[in-house]
Chain A
Amino acid sequence: MHIPDAFIPIWQGAIYWIIALVFVALALRWARNEMSEEKLPLVAVLAAGIFALQSFNLPVSMGTSGHLVGGALAAIILGSPFAAIFILTLVLIVQAILFGDGGITVLGANIINMGVIGGFVGFYTFRGLMGVTKSMPVSVFFAAWLACLIPALACAVEMYVAGTFPLIEGLVAMGIYHAIIGIIEGFVTVAVIYLITTARPDLVDTGVKAPAGA
């Protein structure tokens, strides 16, 4: 769902940039103050992994492909939505400048969708579901699914405001495609979190205490 420059007028892109920069500043503050130094390897490896995963377009039928976003993954495993904003912002900058994947004037919008919305939706869905279901895989799966779907719907609204898509048609198509992509995102996120938790339990801090006996 990387928006290209051609899809949003420059003035609207500028507004998204300003909003995005506020969150990027908060994410930088998170990296400086909240993120512990021991987590540096995990944060950097996640960036490499998310970049690679995003380059892999998987077929989702209906003549459409999709790749993972990774916002929920970063937010859940590092215990903060700002972790997702920090990592996704830098990955999106590399993609836009080096590979033309996502535009420059619209980079703010892409940061808002995948980093900010993806991170917050992923993180708080996970927190909420953990409280209710007490199941790590179930909570992670739905958090990642929503963190793929909601940013896509936000993107459709932005496309409507930009005059690029009609509202309903855009919402329906973006919603259907990303509801399917989100299922893949859910499974992969569960698998990656399981792998990292097994390899380095000390690096994982989901902020949720493991329930007794689980």
Chain B
Amino acid sequence: MMDNKTFILAGIVIALLIGGVAVFFASGDPDGLESTALVVQGQKELTGSTPEGAEIHEDLTGKFSYESPMPDYSLGESMGSTGGIVAIAVGTILAFLVVLGLAYGLKLINKPAKQNQ
């Protein structure tokens, strides 16, 4: 059976590979929610392809807006697919660390309480 180290390493490598492949092969079509927005705005037929210049009209009045550091999983046009790979790799590792860190932290808090029982 795989030990923990191998399991974690294999898992992260597979995740990074999926993310790397995604940069090159991901579909550029809008996702389900965006497609639905285009359909209800009359820019796209339900089962038809998405027109070239289709753009979702957003009513931003009274709504919050936020500029993320790596919008659309890229580091900007100039960085191209390298930027995309870096962005997804950063996200993948960060998701791993945040979940591991919080889960581990919660376990630490719990320890003294358990010993008292």
Q: What residues of B have a CB within 8 angstroms of the CB of A95 in the complex?
A: 91
Total contacting residues, chain A, CB less than 8 A: 80
State which of A37, A43, A64, A101 has its C-beta within 8 Å of the C-beta of B29: A64
Structural contact, B26 and A56, CB atoms closer than 8 A: yes
Q: What is the bound-complex CA distance between A5 and B2, given in angstroms?
A: 43
Which residues of chain A from 50 to 79 have any CB-CB distance to chain B below 8 Å in the complex? 50-53, 55-60, 62-67
Structural contact, A169 and B73, CB atoms closer than 8 A: no
Q: What residues of A have a CB within 8 angstroms of the CB of B32 in the complex?
A: 1, 60, 64, 66, 152, 173-174, 177-178, 181
Q: Which of A86-94, A121-129, A133-141, A206-214 contacts B (4 or more CB under 8 A)?
A: A86-94
State which of B21, B98, B110 has its C-beta within 8 Å of the C-beta of A47: B98
Name the residue of chain B whose CB is nearest to the CB of A156: B36
Which residues of chain B from 70 to 107 have any CB-CB distance to chain A below 8 Å in the complex? 70-73, 87-88, 90-100, 102-104, 106-107
Structural contact, A31 and B102, CB atoms closer than 8 A: yes
Residues of B at the A interface (CB closer than 8 Å) are 1-2, 4, 7-8, 10-12, 14-16, 18-19, 21-22, 25-33, 35-37, 39-40, 44, 46-50, 58-60, 62-73, 87-88, 90-100, 102-104, 106-107, 109-110
Contact sample, A vs B, 10 pairs, CB 8 Å cutoff? A4-B58, A6-B63, A31-B103, A44-B103, A49-B15, A52-B22, A63-B50, A99-B87, A200-B1, A202-B1
Q: What residues of B have a CB within 8 angstroms of the CB of A176 in the complex?
A: 46-47
Q: What is the bound-complex CA distance between A1 and B97, given in angstroms?
A: 24
Structural contact, B4 and A41, CB atoms closer than 8 A: yes
Sample of 11 further A-B pairs with CB below 8 A, known A49-B14, A52-B16, A64-B31: A6-B58, A31-B103, A44-B99, A48-B93, A52-B88, A57-B28, A63-B44, A64-B35, A65-B26, A169-B40, A199-B10
State which of A55, A90, A104 has its C-beta within 8 Å of the C-beta of B64: A104
If over half of B's interface residues share one DSSP class (helix, strand or loop), that class is named, otherwise mixed; here it is: helix
Q: What residues of B have a CB within 8 angstroms of the CB of A174 in the complex?
A: 32-33, 36
Q: What is the bound-complex CA distance between A25 and B43, given in angstroms?
A: 41
Name the residue of chain B whose CB is nearest to the CB of A38: B4
Is A28 part of the binding interface, using a Cβ–Cβ cutoff of 8 Å?
yes
Structural contact, A52 and B92, CB atoms closer than 8 A: yes
Which residues of chain A from 117 to 163 have any CB-CB distance to chain B below 8 Å in the complex? 152, 155-156, 159
Q: What is the bound-complex CA distance between A26 and B1, given in angstroms?
A: 33
Q: What residues of B have a CB within 8 angstroms of the CB of A6 in the complex?
A: 58-60, 63, 65
Structural contact, A63 and B49, CB atoms closer than 8 A: yes
Q: What is the bound-complex CA distance between A206 and B70, given in angstroms?
A: 36
Is A40 part of the binding interface, using a Cβ–Cβ cutoff of 8 Å?
yes
Structural contact, A105 and B36, CB atoms closer than 8 A: no
The 10 closest A-B pairs by CB, nearest first: A45-B11, A100-B68, A63-B50, A65-B27, A56-B22, A177-B32, A47-B99, A44-B100, A51-B95, A6-B58
Q: What is the bound-complex CA distance between A100 and B69, given in angstroms?
A: 8
Is A18 part of the binding interface, using a Cβ–Cβ cutoff of 8 Å?
no
